[in-house]
């Protein structure tokens, strides 16, 4: 399907959303876009660049204090092998929800820039621009979070809106004296919030997340234009893309669940057209905690988001490790659950992130939720939202076992999609109890997701990484090796997958061995993951392996040429160039 020019797509989306409004606003906005485009000197992005990267997700302050500290660690990140940074919220915020409560879309928190609170906008722009230039020198892309569903209650728009019903900004948000509206919208933070309505004087305002995060009203075209302008502001600096937080909830319609509505997709189409108009191939990444069949709708026909997170894959990888069976992963990636996506689209995959190991019934069954919770929620403090998730880092979930961590990453880095590494997981960082207690005092919320955040102790880490017998080194060495090898093979980011059955030396099929070919062009890679905690002898899956001594990761392969078998040590993995 041929995609229409961006200006045409903007006009179509506008008419669909705002047929009662004149088109003068849109004409003026397109004139603004032309002016911005004429002032920009940035070339178009490479098509599909987001398929060939390994993403590193971080809080700048948790990683190394500020952007100056981050710049100092670009060599570390380059050595690790990552070539795209996903900066978790960096914009101005009261920090009640880790920065997802934005109070100014066009200003970075001055502390992150090592600047005083009274620093000028120019000083902030220069400091951030200097970081982007250094990242570009390392050929590291940069994307960051922008929450487009809601703002902080400290945002200028909302401070004005709450002054009176007649205020021009009142209609930027959703106000009512009737809290029966939108009653079918679920409470997302169940156990942390009692309602989607918060009283403010004689009125109530609507919110899907915390009560200090009022939802924006996209029925007002000015909201859509202003949010588009916010993205344009950062495009001028050379930002490579945006993670659109909480994207399924943008449009509200009474009598519906207020999720994944057709108008929400139209809003996203407008934003994508704006980005395409200014700098084609600027990444728009959908954060949609939904079933894959809903997430793929945010790719549209190549006219919405370029990529989206595959949330259901994460818990199924943990289930596969616990059950020592490939079936959970094969099932979740089957066409019945994961539909095909447009050619230019991509899944983003991850083992852990800044949130909980999510077990929402949106994409797991009651049976799966109970199984995963029973096997991985090892202490009551890790429980999140009454069994709907587990707040724990990868190392904690996998018993601080470098073999299990390496095996989990072998799956994630070799399965289809663009992989995301959560900061600290590459060396086995564990839950931060002190940070969790500190944030409860600061926010007044017993939000166990704070366990999976916290700062990196670089002095300690450097000692650990200089000791090849240390736990941190054993984790880091495996993951860094896999990332750097992965980048050399096009099959992982762009290739097809073909599962293969593995038999033992007695011709029995082994579900505990997860094997598949990844292929792209003339390249073919055989991946073998032994999910079992014991050594297994398997029949050689290909006669081409007879003379093989090592895989592309440098692992020695124990082959018996006489009976054509391979010995797989417990929890081992191999990537073999066929």
85 Cβ contact partners less than 8 Å away, ≥ 6 residues apart: 55, 56, 58, 77, 135, 140, 141, 142, 143
Active-site residue (options: 92, 287, 383, 464): 287
Determine the 3-state secondary structure of 565 from DSSP: strand
* Cβ atoms < 10 Å from Cβ of 117: 7
Let me know: does 408 contact 482? Beta carbons within 8 Å.
Answer: no
For residue 193, the tally of other CB atoms under 10 A from its CB is 17
Here the contacts of 531-536 (C-beta below 8 Å, separation 24 or greater) are 531/320, 531/321, 531/324, 531/325, 531/326, 531/407, 531/571, 532/324, 532/570, 532/571, 533/324, 533/570, 533/571, 534/570, 535/567, 535/568, 535/569, 535/570, 536/504, 536/510, 536/512, 536/567, 536/568, 536/570
Joined tokens for residue 490: 């096009």
Q: Is 394 helix (H, G, I), strand (E, B) or coil?
A: helix
- Is residue 1 within 8 Å of residue 13, measured between CB atoms? no
Say if residues 440 and 450 touch (Cβ distance below 8 Å). Answer: yes
Structure tokens at 139: 């050929």
- Active-site residue (options: 215, 245, 276, 368): 245
DSSP-derived letter for residue 504 is: B
Backbone angles phi, psi at 525, to 5 degrees: -125, 130
E strand or H helix that includes residue 416: none
Q: Which residue has the tokens 């893309």?
A: 241
Cα 299 from Cα 104, distance rounded (Å): 28
DSSP 160-172: HHTT-TTSTTGGG
In the numeric block, the tokens 């403090």 are attached to 381
Best CA proximity match to 377, nearest among 325, 332, 431: 431
Q: What's the CA gap between 295 and 313, in Å, rounded?
A: 13
Annotated active-site residue 287? The verdict is: yes
Distance between CA atoms of residues 356 and 434, nearest Å: 18
- Alpha-carbon separation of residue 3 from 286, 346, 375, 540 (angstroms): 19, 18, 47, 47
- Positions marked catalytic: 245, 287
């Amino acid at each position: 399907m041929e995609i229409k020019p961006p200006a045409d797509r903007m006009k179509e989306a506008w008419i669909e959303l705002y047929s009662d409004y004149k088109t003068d606003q849109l004409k003026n906005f397109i004139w603004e876009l032309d002016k911005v485009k004429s002032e920009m000197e940035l070339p178009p992005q490479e098509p599909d660049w987001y398929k060939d990267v390994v993403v590193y997700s971080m809080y700048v302050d948790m990683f190394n204090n500020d952007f100056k500290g981050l710049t100092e660690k670009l060599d570390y990140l380059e050595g690790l092998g990552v070539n795209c940074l996903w900066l978790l919220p960096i914009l101005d915020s009261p920090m009640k929800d880790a920065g997802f409560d934005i109070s100014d879309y066009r200003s970075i928190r001055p502390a992150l820039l090592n600047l005083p609170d009274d620093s000028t906008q120019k000083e902030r722009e220069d400091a951030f621009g200097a970081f982007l230039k250094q990242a570009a020198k390392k050929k590291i892309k940069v994307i960051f979070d922008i929450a487009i569903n809601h703002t902080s209650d400290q945002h200028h728009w909302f401070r004005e809106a709450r002054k009176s019903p007649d205020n021009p900004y009142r209609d930027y948000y959703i106000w009512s004296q009737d809290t029966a509206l939108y009653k079918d919208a679920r409470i997302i933070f169940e156990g942390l919030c009692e309602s989607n309505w918060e009283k403010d004087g004689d009125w109530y305002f609507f919110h899907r997340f915390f009560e200090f995060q009022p939802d924006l009203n996209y029925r007002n075209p000015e909201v859509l234009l202003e949010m588009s302008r916010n993205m344009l502001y950062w495009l001028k600096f050379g930002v490579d893309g945006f993670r659109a937080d909480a994207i399924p909830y943008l449009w509200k319609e009474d009598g519906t669940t207020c999720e994944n509505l057709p108008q929400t997709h139209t809003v996203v189409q407008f934003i994508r057209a704006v980005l395409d108009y200014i700098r084609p191939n600027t990444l728009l990444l959908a954060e949609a905690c939904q079933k894959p069949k809903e997430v793929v709708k945010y790719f549209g026909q190549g006219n919405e988001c370029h990529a989206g997170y595959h949330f259901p894959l994460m818990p199924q990888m943990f289930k596969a490790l616990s059950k020592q069976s490939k079936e959970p992963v094969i099932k979740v990636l089957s066409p019945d659950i994961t539909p095909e996506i447009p050619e230019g689209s991509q899944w983003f995959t991850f083992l852990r992130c800044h949130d909980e190991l999510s077990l929402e019934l949106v994409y797991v069954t009651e049976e799966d939720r109970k199984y995963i919770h029973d096997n991985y929620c090892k202490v009551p403090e890790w429980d999140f939202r009454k069994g709907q998730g587990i707040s724990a880092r990868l190392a904690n979930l996998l018993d601080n076992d470098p073999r299990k961590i390496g095996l989990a990453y072998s799956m994630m880095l070799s399965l289809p999609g663009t992989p995301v590494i959560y900061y600290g997981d590459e060396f086995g960082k564990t839950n931060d109890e002190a940070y969790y207690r500190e944030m409860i005092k600061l926010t007044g919320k017993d939000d166990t997701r704070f366990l999976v955040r916290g700062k990196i102790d670089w002095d300690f880490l450097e000692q650990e990484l200089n000791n090849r017998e240390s736990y941190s080194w054993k984790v880091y060495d495996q993951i860094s090796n896999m990332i750097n090898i992965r980048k050399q093979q096009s099959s992982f980011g762009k290739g097809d997958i073909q599962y293969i059955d593995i038999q033992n030396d007695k011709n029995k099929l082994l579900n505990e061995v997860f094997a598949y070919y990844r292929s792209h062009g003339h390249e073919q890679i055989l991946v073998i993951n032994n999910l079992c905690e014991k050594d297994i002898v398997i029949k050689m899956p290909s006669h081409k392996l007879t003379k093989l001594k090592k895989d592309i990761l440098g692992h020695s392969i124990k082959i018996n040429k006489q009976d054509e078998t391979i010995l797989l040590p417990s929890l081992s993995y191999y990537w073999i160039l066929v």
